[in-house]
Amino acid sequence: MIPRRVRLLFLTLLPLTLAAEGKVPPIWPQIQGIFPRGGQRGAAVKITLKGRNLQQTRELRFRSPHLTARVLSATPYQVEALVTLAPSAEPGRHDLRLLAPHGSAIGYFDVGTVAERTEKEPNNHPAQAEPLPFPALVNGILTAGDYDYFRLEAAAGQTLTFDVLATRNGASTDAALALLNEAGDELAFSDDYYGFKDPHLRYTFAKTGRYLLRVHGSSEAGCDTCDYRLRAGTMPHVETVIPAGGQPGQPTTITLRGVNLRHLAGVTLGDGLAEGEVLTATATEATVRLTVPPHAAPGVYKLHGRDALLPASFVVSTFPEFAVADGSARSRKDPLPVTLPVIANGILNRPRAADHFAFRVDGPETVVLEAHAMQLGYLTDPLVALYDESGNRLAWQDDPTTNTGKEPANLDPHLVFRLPRAGRYTAMIRDAQFRGDPAFLYRLTIKKAEPDFSLRVVGTDDTLYRGRTNTILVRVRRLEGWNEPVEVYVPHLPPGVSVQPVVAEPKNTPYTGTCGETHYLDGTNVEMQITVAPDAPPLAGHLEFRGRSRGVERIARTRYFRARIRHIGDAEEDHLRVTIADAPGAVLTVPPALALGKDHTAALTVIVTRLDEGRAEPLDLAIEAAADGLTATAAPVPPTTTRAELRLRAEAKAPGEFVVVARRAGAVIGRSHPIRLRSPQ
């Protein structure tokens, strides 16, 4: 059975097939756009969420106690809310959870540190460009063919940074960014700078004068929910942090590299976890002393430069780590000696750069070479290799699994290899495509293997329907050579809910690529069948998934589903949020709006999905909640029919909204969302 979030695509394309199987269409809440998608800390901002199935939204919730939201209104297509950001709110992206009786949905909300405003249309031409005073954070929307122009002033020798936060923030926007001189000549351009499409520009101006900044959709693409957040100015921008991690309780001197760092006043680790002291600062480099608190849990944290453009990643780990001085480990014949376990932090600053590290083992030993780069937000694509003392390559790895775009993939290598004997060995790391750049940072862990496994629920939320069996996808990933079966189960089940444990065998799950080829995941997928009794009480809560094997037990975290919010990684909520609800007897899929013809008539196509017990009986479709003067005619819908048509007629102008209802033997078993009827053009 295909998991629910994956079914979304097929439900859109193949409603006839799914209706025949009696599967539930996407009737849970879906967030398609948020505007504005952020706000300045210390302020209150009114936001609008657009999507489908948003009716009866009762709450918007953040994990952080410094962010609160109050729902002002909710319709099936739109929610208005007021978000209050405390002055102490951590800058950067936060999960925004929408809760309704029929399910939940997750989106992103960005906390900024500078005053914000909204773009003002019309600004589609250079002559209409609006001023862009610095520091700037502008919220905008790019419709199809839309160009947003901004006017700015720069001084000779000044370096400005421009960054568009859109796709990384969960928006559907594929934005491009261009810097022009006053005559309209293009000076710089950026389209897909980050791994998820957003543009980024850094430019040092040769002449004092006026300039133009243009934001537009790539290939003029756009939509009513294609939002963006443009950040620009002379604020500090950190591109690399080296070393990019530290041990709890240990003082660490870190070097920040980027632009406009002379103005960096300090750094903060995470949500006020620790403060760093700036020791020295130039335009492109700053030295900071930071002590990670002894109680800090291992993991990835945001490192915030005060008033900086974007946060950087900083990892708290339990292993000793050091910064590789530029070029000090480049020789394969004379590798840099290290003692295991160790984490080397380096930068592949030029094409074909490769760093080498020599270590010794006292006997046969299984070792791990694990690189972190892309999952920390860097554009490095690491490749690791292992050599013996004679220079023979023993093993190598680029990506742990094939990256096809169909599955959330881990692009950072995790190489596990059994060394046959005592001796001296060399670990090597380079970019897989032999690229190099001053921002190509890596963290390479070299250690003796400690076999373990991890669990992730693929998705952050699900709606479980009473009287039905629902499927949840859990991925078991074997780490550092773990090769045992793992039993996945759910303890502490609510009343009326049952789940059978499933064993994940020690083999990777295959899947089919876009051309019919077979690929393998970096782990094993198991489908957990969750059965909800017809009389189970309604629930809005969490399910905790666990795995156990050979006396080891691990708790699953939830993982963002890439196709929904365009981000790979763990969500802020640890456990899967579930809603137990009743599925309607019939689901009527209709457009949000319909236009009348010049004769004041219209044809409405309704996709019908039957979920009721009496599917052998025909359905009658009608309209209700409509103003006087609107009538509809429809023939009964046979049991096997999934597409029906209503003929509408209005006596005069369009009478606003109406709802389609489905009746079986006179009883209403399903209602559509409201449909807005537009007058003829």
Concatenate the DSSP letters of all residues of 517-544 into one string: -EEE-SSEEEEEEEEE-TTPPPEEEEE-
Rounded alpha-carbon distances, angstroms, from residue 405 to 167, 512, 587, 649 = 16, 11, 31, 46
- Letter for the amino acid at 361? V
pLDDT for the residue 195? 74
Structural domain ending residue among the three candidates 413, 435, 451: 451
Q: Are residues 447 and 457 part of one domain?
A: no
Q: Are residues 461 and 428 part of one domain?
A: no
How far apart CA 103 and CA 100 sit, in angstroms, is 5
pLDDT top residue among 586 and 16: 586
- The 3-state DSSP class for residue 98 equals strand
Alpha-carbon torsion angle 288, 292, 297, 300, nearest 10? 0
Burial of 249 (0-12, 13-18, 19+ CB in 10 A): exposed
Residue 7 lies in a domain: no
> Can you give the CATH number for the domain in which 33 is found?
2.60.40.10
Instruction: Please give the structure tokens belonging to residue 381.
Output: 């694509």
Q: Are residues 248 and 149 part of one domain?
A: no
How high is the mean pLDDT of the chain?
A: 91
Q: For 610-623, what is each residue's pLDDT tens digit?
A: 998 877 899 999 99
Q: Are residues 446 and 325 part of one domain?
A: yes
Asked whether the CA dihedral 389, 391, 393, 395 is positive or negative, the reply is: positive
pLDDT for the residue 655? 67
Structural domain ending residue among the three candidates 210, 233, 256: 233
pLDDT for the residue 215? 98
Q: How far is CA 73 from the centre of its chain?
A: 26
Q: For 557-595, what is each residue's pLDDT tens digit?
A: 998 865 443 456 788 999 999 999 999 999 999 999 999
Residue 287 lies in a domain: yes
Q: For 100-122, what is each residue's pLDDT tens digit?
A: 999 999 999 999 999 999 999 99
Q: Are residues 270 and 210 part of one domain?
A: no
Other Cβ atoms within 10 Å of 537 Cβ, number:
11
How far apart CA 217 and CA 141 sit, in angstroms, is 10
Would the pLDDT of 350 be above 70? yes
Alpha helices for 459-565 (secondary structure H): 562-565
pLDDT for the residue 614? 75
Nearest one of 657, 653, 652 to 604, comparing CA atoms: 657
Residue 12 lies in a domain: no
Helix (H) or strand (E) holding 190: strand 186-190
Instruction: Please give the structure tokens belonging to residue 39.
Output: 């706000």
pLDDT for the residue 407? 59
Which range has the top average pLDDT, 324-328, 358-362, 638-642?
358-362
Q: Are residues 65 and 31 part of one domain?
A: yes
Q: What is the pTM of this model?
A: 0.89
| CB 189, CB 216: distance < 8 Å | no
> Can you give the CATH number for the domain in which 400 is found?
2.60.120.380
Q: Are residues 409 and 461 part of one domain?
A: no
- Letter for the amino acid at 594? L
pLDDT for the residue 681? 65
Site of tokens 């480990």: 329
Q: State the average pLDDT over residues 394-413.
A: 75
Residue 91 lies in a domain: yes
pLDDT for the residue 317? 96
Rounded alpha-carbon distances, angstroms, from residue 438 to 238, 349, 442 = 12, 4, 11
Q: State the average pLDDT over residues 383-406.
A: 87
Q: For 285-303, what is each residue's pLDDT tens digit?
A: 999 999 999 999 999 999 9
Residue 669 lies in a domain: yes
Q: Are residues 197 and 125 part of one domain?
A: yes
Q: Are residues 165 and 43 part of one domain?
A: no
Q: For 22-66, what is each residue's pLDDT tens digit?
A: 578 889 999 999 999 999 999 999 999 999 999 999 999 999 999
Model confidence at 653, pLDDT cuts 50, 70, 90, reads: low
Would the pLDDT of 148 be above 90? yes
Other Cβ atoms within 10 Å of 360 Cβ, number:
14
| CB 575, CB 558: distance < 8 Å | yes
Residue 492 lies in a domain: yes
Model confidence at 375, pLDDT cuts 50, 70, 90, reads: confident
Q: State the average pLDDT over residues 151-174.
A: 95
Alpha-carbon torsion angle 406, 408, 409, 412, nearest 10? 150
pLDDT for the residue 625? 77
Residue 4 lies in a domain: no
Total domains, the chain: 6
Range of the domain at 419: 321-451
Would the pLDDT of 466 be above 60? yes
pLDDT for the residue 4? 42
Would the pLDDT of 3 be above 60? no
Model confidence at 400, pLDDT cuts 50, 70, 90, reads: confident
Would the pLDDT of 16 be above 60? no
Q: For 215-229, what is each residue's pLDDT tens digit?
A: 999 999 999 999 999
Q: Are residues 431 and 385 part of one domain?
A: yes
pLDDT for the residue 19? 34
Would the pLDDT of 660 be above 90? yes
Structural domain ending residue among the three candidates 316, 346, 365: 316
Residue 17 lies in a domain: no
Q: Are residues 413 and 343 part of one domain?
A: yes
Buried b vs exposed e over 432-468: b needs ≥16 C-beta within 10 Å?
Answer: eeebbbeebbbbbbbbebebebbbbbbbbbbbbbbeb
Per the DSSP assignment, residues forming a β-bridge with 456 are 475, 557
pLDDT for the residue 525? 93
Q: Are residues 435 and 349 part of one domain?
A: yes
